[in-house]
């Protein structure tokens, strides 16, 4: 008699909603925890080829912290494809202009670079303040001091 390996199907996975208050949290450490939740690696039925992750709502994105001199020295680059079209912007300037983009770019770098990674990134909702339109999904507040013991009560 052989034992069979359990492989979850797409219908077996239930996605939960979490809220994270990013105020005074270090950007990189926050991004790794968000990426883990989006991938579903905190669940026992994690499978690399399926989207087993949860939805994550990040609040206070404009109050995220960084260490060292990253606020002025870290640069973000965009290229339009035209000659002379390289634009660079510091972390400090991007946090003032689009604070949600900073967290989205940090998390995007930690997800797979394929269709599945893009699907996971769509479940990330980032807002600069405390107001968000996802109250109907009844997201649970996630205390990152209790990490990695994330328990989803069904």
Q: Which of 56, 35, 53 has the alpha carbon at shortest distance from 112?
A: 35
Write out the two tokens for 22: 């990013």
pLDDT of residue 153 exceeding 60, the answer is no
Q: How far apart are the C-alpha atoms of 16 and 53, rounded to whole Å?
A: 8
Cβ atoms within 10 Å, residue 144: 15
pLDDT of residue 154: 44
pLDDT tens digits, 68-105:
999 999 999 999 999 999 999 999 999 999 999 999 99
pTM of the predicted protein model: 0.90
pLDDT of residue 102: 98
pLDDT of residue 145: 73
Domains in the chain, start-ordered, CATH in brackets? 15-66+93-146 (3.90.1180.10)
Instruction: Please tell me what DSSP assigns to residue 76.
Output: E
Instruction: Kindly indicate the confidence band of residue 149, based on its pLDDT and cuts at 50, 70 and 90.
Output: low
pLDDT tens digits, 24-56:
999 999 999 999 999 999 999 999 999 999 999
Sorted by sequence, the CB contacts under 8 Å of residue 137 that are 6+ apart come out as 17, 55
Q: Kindly state the percentage of the chain with pLDDT values over 70.
A: 94
Q: Kindly state the percentage of the chain with pLDDT values over 90.
A: 84
């Amino acid at each position: 008699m052989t034992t069979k390996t359990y492989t979850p199907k797409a219908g077996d996975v239930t996605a939960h909603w979490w809220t994270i208050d990013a105020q005074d949290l270090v950007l990189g450490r926050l991004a790794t925890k968000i990426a883990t939740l989006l991938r579903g690696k905190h669940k026992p039925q994690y499978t690399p080829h399926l989207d087993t992750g949860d939805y994550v709502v990040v609040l206070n994105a404009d109050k995220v912290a960084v260490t060292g001199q990253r606020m002025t020295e870290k640069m973000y680059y965009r290229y339009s494809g035209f000659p002379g079209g390289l634009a660079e912007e510091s972390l400090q300037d991007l946090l003032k202009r689009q604070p949600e983009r900073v967290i989205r770019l940090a998390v995007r770098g930690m997800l797979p670079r394929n269709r599945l990674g893009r699907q996971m990134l769509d479940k990330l909702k980032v807002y600069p303040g405390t107001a968000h339109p996802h109250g109907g999904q009844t997201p649970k507040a996630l205390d990152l001091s209790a990490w990695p013991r994330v328990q989803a009560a069904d």
